[in-house]
Amino acid sequence: MARKKKAITVPLETIGAIPDAAWERLQLILAPTYPPKPTGRGRIDFRKAIDGIIFRLRTGCQWNHLPQIFGDDSSVHRWFQRWVDDAIFVQLWAILLEECDALAGVAWQWQAVDGCLGKARFGGTKNRA
């Protein structure tokens, strides 16, 4: 039997990258907090990691479906978790919102809510008087 030919995969386009001005401000927080180690394996590029996190938050895709241009998906997810645990991500996000607001990139008047309207497991709470 003949083998099937592999499909040619085209990388997905990303939504956008961090502007240089915003990256300079983010780097002021990240560089002193996480200096490069003198030995061992090199870490991923923080700029690509933040772009990957923003892509993940905007699209809602799974971490393991991040496009390869952001680097290793597990590394991006690990840095996201570390920044959240260290309360660094809140600072990074505030800077990104300021920069995006200066670019008129956030439509604050538009909001959406998502909810789950499934049945409660085991019948939920009972109103017993």
For position 104, what pLDDT does the model report?
Answer: 61
Indicate whether 118 belongs to any domain.
no
Indicate whether 81 belongs to any domain.
yes
Indicate whether 120 belongs to any domain.
no
For position 97, what pLDDT does the model report?
Answer: 84
The number of domains in the chain is: 1
SS3 8: coil
Q: What are the pLDDT digits (tens) for 94-104?
A: 998 888 766 56
What Rg, from alpha-carbon coordinates, does the chain have?
A: 20
Which pTM value belongs to this model?
A: 0.69
- Binned at pLDDT 50, 70 and 90, residue 5 comes out as confident
For position 91, what pLDDT does the model report?
Answer: 93
Indicate whether 54 belongs to any domain.
yes
Indicate whether 73 belongs to any domain.
yes
Closest CA to 70 of 47, 88, 96, 52: 52
Indicate whether 51 belongs to any domain.
yes
Cβ-contact 89, 80 below 8 angstroms: yes
Indicate whether 83 belongs to any domain.
yes
Q: What are the pLDDT digits (tens) for 37-75?
A: 889 888 899 999 999 999 898 888 999 999 999 999 999
- Enclosing domain of residue 99: 44-106
Indicate whether 92 belongs to any domain.
yes
- Binned at pLDDT 50, 70 and 90, residue 109 comes out as low
